[in-house]
Amino acid sequence: MRIGIFDPYLDDLGGGEKYMMAIAECLAKDHSVTVFWDNDRDLKELQERFSINLSSIALHKNIFSKKVNFFERIFITRMFDAIFVLSDGSIPFVLSKKLFLHFQQPMQHLSKLSIKEKLKLWKVTSIFCNSQFTKSFIDKTFNVNSQVLYPPVNLLPKKAKKENIILNVGRLRVKNVTARDVPIGDYNAQHFKSLRIEIASDYKKQSTIIETFKKMIREGLQNWKFVIAISVKKEDKEAFESLQKSAEGFPIEFVVNQNNKKLWDLYNRAKIYWHATGFGEDLQKHPEYAEHFGISTVEAMSAGAVPVVINAGGQKEIVEDNKSGFLWDKIEDLIDKSLKLIRDQNLWKDMSKAAQERSRKFTGDRFCKELKEITNL
């Protein structure tokens, strides 16, 4: 069969792009797969960043670009048995035999569906989401019953000596919002005053967890290091420099734009993994500000790092609270639960083992098997 795949954010190199290219890799074992995109360098970078084999994937010009007229797009899509699209909220019109839509994040800001959109939706074979969290919003927005296909996580743990490292992994993404206060529990306000704009505009909440670790150091934590593995784009350089400045004088290390091999070296050495995306946000009003799944959390767990992550979004579907990690709602809980692991080595060992076992639920083999079952391809 001939399969087409389109992701409008392919050059973003995020979780959605890894998800869509994992679909390509899986289906290319049995079918002819084409990716609609104009720049082959992005595909090569995806292969290197995520260790995905795209060597047998064909590249075709992006027929979903505004530069391509409607009739040319329709003519080309007729040649495909199935097309997979990562939706940005829109529904494409194609004439392939099957059309599958994937939603990587909740869509709640959309206006009421027009008759035109409803007709296009009727042509969709199936919709699948990356988590139950995303599904809950997509089903309501589009009045559908979508399926959940958890992302594939390539587990590459190696035995390594664990170090006193708390790790956080994520892109630096800045939201276009105005400054406002964020709940900070019983923190001393003077430590946050200069950072409130960054905290409010920081999608992954790196500022928040930097301040949290600084508080722990001020209150006596010794011989531990906080490592932030962060992807930074040129346009976010100023925001990143602000983060670096806020960490000066503390055992905080930034690892910037590293490849997959070096990232796994960090996973293998870290004892604890932190995640705070969605903290301080109204996630019913803005669900897009939560972590919609949490691939880095699963990767860290597979390497034996115990997750201490926010009780929101897709994180709740990954971590079994008090078994394979801890979930937290307040910064005070993040600190208290982290200190439990730091002070009780037996507790850490038990949870580390449970985290590794839990991570196996999200393997690439499982993803490929479930994908073929959902799509009947």
pLDDT tens per residue across span 320-374: 999 999 999 999 999 999 999 999 999 999 999 999 999 999 999 999 999 999 9
**196 and 126 assigned to the same domain:** no
Question: Do 54 and 188 sit in the same domain of this protein?
Answer: no
- 154-183 mean pLDDT: 73
180 and 93 in one domain?
A: no
The CATH number given to whatever domain includes residue 89 is: 3.40.50
Mean pLDDT of the chain: 88
Higher-confidence position of 12 and 344: 344
50 pLDDT band, cuts 50/70/90, is confident
Q: Is the pLDDT assigned to residue 60 strictly greater than 50?
A: yes
Is position 371 within any domain? no
Quick count: other Cβ atoms within 10 Å of Cβ 333?
16
User: Do 138 and 201 reside in the same domain of the chain?
Assistant: no
Whether 178 has a pLDDT exceeding 80, the answer reads no
β-pairing verdict for 32-36 and 2-6? parallel
| pLDDT(150) > 70 | yes
Kindly list the strands in the beta sheet with 32-36, ordered across the sheet, starting from the edge strand earlier in the chain.
58-60, 32-36, 2-6, 82-86, 98-103, 126-129, 147-148
The domain boundary residue, chosen from 94, 117, 149:
149
Q: Look at 157 and 196; give whichever has higher pLDDT.
A: 157
Same domain as 356, residue 219: yes
In a domain, 98, yes or no: yes
**pLDDT value at 7 more than 60:** yes
Q: Count of CB atoms within 10 A of residue 345's CB?
A: 10
| Mean pLDDT for the stretch of residues 304-317 | 96
Instruction: Return the pLDDT at 174.
Output: 64
The answer, yes or no, to whether residue 201 has pLDDT greater than 60, is no
Cα 113 to its chain centre, rounded Å, is 27
338 assigned to some structural domain: yes
d(CA 23, CA 216): 42
157 vs 370: which has the higher pLDDT:
370
Query: Is 264 within the bounds of a domain?
Result: yes
Does 367 map to a domain? no
- Read off the pLDDT of residues 258-309 as tens digits, 9 standing for 90 and up: 887 889 999 999 999 999 999 998 898 888 889 999 999 999 999 999 999 9
Q: Which of the listed residues 149, 173, 202 is the one where a domain comes to its end? A: 149
pLDDT for the residue numbered 197: 33
- The reported pLDDT for the residue numbered 353 is 97
Residue 183 has pLDDT above 50, yes or no: no
State which of 80, 115, 149 marks the end of a domain. 149
Give residues with Cβ within 8 angstroms of 362, minimum separation 6: 150, 151, 152, 153, 298, 318
pLDDT of residue 28: 96
Residue 200: give its domain's CATH number: 3.40.50.2000
**Residue 175: which pLDDT band, with cuts at 50, 70 and 90?**
low
- Considering the domain architecture, whether residues 108 and 243 belong to the same structural domain is answered as no
- Is residue 267 located within the same domain as residue 213? yes
Torsion angle in degrees (nearest 10) through CA of 73, 74, 77, 81: 170
**Which pLDDT does position 296 carry in this prediction?**
93
Tell me which residue range forms the domain holding 56: 2-149
207 and 313 assigned to the same domain: yes
Mean pLDDT, rounded, for 166-190? 54
Does pLDDT of 188 surpass 60? no
Q: For the residues 101-123, what does the mean pLDDT come to?
A: 82
Q: Is residue 322 domain-shared with residue 182, that is, in the same domain?
A: yes
Same domain, residue pair 213 and 340: yes
1 pLDDT higher than 90: yes
What values do phi and psi take at 307, rounded to 5? Answer: -80, 135
Structural contact between residues 304 and 356, judged by C-beta atoms closer than 8 angstroms: yes
pLDDT bucket at 318, cuts 50 / 70 / 90: very high
Is the residue at 377 inside a domain? no
Assigned domain for 325 exists: yes
pTM as predicted: 0.84
Residues 142 and 257 grouped into a single domain: no
- Indicate whether 31 belongs to any domain: yes
Are 207 and 82 within one domain? no
Per the structure, the count of domains in the chain is 2
